[in-house]
Amino acid sequence: MSYRAAKPLLFRLPAETAHTATKRLLRAARGTPIEEALTARYRVEQPRLHTNVFGLDFSNPVGVAAGFDKNAEIPGILGALGFGHVEVGAVTAEGQPGNQRPRLFRLPEDRALVNRMGFNNAGADVVGPRLADTDVSVPLGVNIGKSKTTPLDEAPEDYLYSYERTAAGGDYFVVNVSSPNTPGLRDLQNREHLEAILGRLRDAGAAPLLVKLSPDLTESAVEDALAVVDDLKLDGVIATNTTVERPDTLRNHNRVEAGGLSGAPIEERATETVRFVAERTDVPVIGVGGVSDAHGAYAKIRAGASLVQLYTALVYEGPALARDINEGLLDLLDRDGFDSVEDAVGADL
């Protein structure tokens, strides 16, 4: 069955139920001829898409954002769907159920999602060994969040615990201090807290180490965060997470739900944040927010993103999305006379 045919059936289910069902189907394909068939159908092998970022080789710049595969159950299958990297998590030191359901909402007219998941995951003691046993052909990022019950002043040790348990299986590590769905978490984006958390992880040898920022930060707060990035010699920045703001253009009734908004309504804002960050730091930027086609991915690349990630668009576009974006990127590189995707990074700065 094609995704076009399956989508109306999936959309009859609650959003989180549909997501769980999709993951189960993908998990069932692991290690079977279906996985090989997916690879043959969806992976775009073209040297012009290759890029090296913070010392890692990526076959293409399009990745899966954290949140889609929280417990590292299907990173290999996501690679088979044509993605050039997969970021799992957010992983917390303690396993936790997250917020009460319903906590994930579609806004179809707006091509958006609202989520207030609350870092639901099995915990670092479960995810860490699973990562260590994972055989995946693309770089694997680990997004680390704070456990809900951990006081803010104990956050550095909480993040350190999750890093140490997942270190053997990750290729890069992301400190998530920007989710709107864990009480107090965004307070950790101020300079003092960031220095404590990131410094503790740096001292423990975490590398490559990145920080994920909120689109709701003021420009001065972003500049403060980037000063920490530079002072601690971090390896990269992810811009951005979801937003708690609601544009006036939203039409679906689920716009009133509390949580982080993702998808098409935040695309332009996320791209501008990528540009703002890239203009102020020399470290690589991963652009996230509203990417759903080659033009959107290319806009973030030209704005300074070395890599892009997506999640919401998978819900609306289906499994061919990475292939379609990568093929479209090749056309756009041809149009603008770039020899490779690396040459296009920051072209508009």
The tokens of 26 are what? 């993908």
On the question of pLDDT at 33 being above 80, the answer is yes
Rounded CA separation 228/192 (Å): 9
Find out whether 124 and 166 touch, Cβ atoms under 8 Å. yes
The average confidence (pLDDT) of the chain is: 96
- What pLDDT does residue 246 have? 97
Which segments within the chain are labelled E, that is strand?
51-53, 56-58, 62-64, 85-91, 104-107, 112-115, 140-144, 172-176, 209-213, 236-239, 260-263, 285-288, 305-310
Q: Token digits for 204?
A: 């423990």
Query: How many other C-beta atoms can be found within 10 angstroms of the C-beta atom of residue 70?
Result: 22
**Cα separations (Å) of 211 from 86, 214, 323, 331?**
16, 10, 28, 32
| pLDDT at residue 178 in the model | 81
CATH of the domain at 126: 3.20.20.70
pLDDT one-digit tens code per residue, 204-217: 999 999 999 999 98
CB-CB contact of 334 with 298 (8 Å): no
Does residue 24 surpass a pLDDT of 90? yes
Q: Is 69 annotated as a binding residue?
A: yes
Dihedral (CA of 196, 126, 102, 261) sign: positive
Q: Does 241 count as an annotated binding residue?
A: yes
Pair 143, 90: CB distance under 8 Å? yes
Whether 349 is covered by a domain: the verdict is no
Q: For residue 316, what are the contacts with CB-CB under 8 A and spacing of at least 6? A: 108, 111, 263, 292
Per the annotation, does 118 bind a ligand? yes
- Is the pLDDT at 184 greater than 90? The verdict is no
The average pLDDT across 69-78 equals 97
Model confidence at 1, pLDDT cuts 50, 70, 90, reads low
- How confident is the model at residue 219, as a pLDDT? 93
**Model confidence band, residue 183 (pLDDT cutoffs 50, 70, 90):** confident
> What does the block give as tokens for 275?
């540009």
In a domain, 93, yes or no: yes
Beta-carbon count within 10 A of 240 CB: 28
- Cα 345 to the center of its chain, rounded Å: 19
Does the annotation place 294 within a ligand binding site? no
The predicted structure's pLDDT at residue 179: 83
pLDDT tens per residue across span 228-285: 999 999 999 999 999 999 999 999 999 999 999 999 999 999 999 999 999 999 999 9
End-to-end CA distance of the chain: 44
Q: Which residues contact residue 114 at a Cβ distance below 8 angstroms, ignoring those fewer than 6 apart?
A: 104, 105, 107, 254, 255, 257, 258, 259, 260, 261, 262
User: Which residues have C-beta within 8 Å of that of residue 282, sequence separation ≥ 6?
Assistant: none
Total count of residues recorded for the chain: 349
90 appears as a binding residue in the annotation: yes
In a domain, 226, yes or no: yes
312 within a domain of the structure (yes/no): yes
Q: Where are the beta strands (DSSP E) in 75-213?
A: 85-91, 104-107, 112-115, 140-144, 172-176, 209-213
Rounded Cα distance, 188 and 340, in Å:
37
CB neighbours of 243 closer than 8 A, spacing ≥ 6? 180, 214, 215, 216, 260, 261, 266, 269
Burial status of residue 155 (CB atoms within 10 A of its CB: 0-12, 13-18, 19 or more): buried
Q: Is 240 annotated as a binding residue?
A: yes
Structural domain total, the chain: 1
At which residue do the structure tokens 């889609």 appear? 68
* Phi, psi dihedrals of residue 52, rounded to the nearest 5°: -115, 120
Give the residue from 260, 262, 263, 312 showing the smallest Cα distance to 116.
Answer: 260
Residue 162 lies in domain: 3-344
Looking at the domain assignment, is residue 170 inside a domain? yes
pLDDT-above-90 percentage for the chain: 91
Annotated active-site positions, please?
179
Q: What is the pLDDT of residues 87-144, one digit of tens each?
A: 999 999 999 999 999 999 999 999 999 999 999 999 999 999 999 998 899 999 999 9
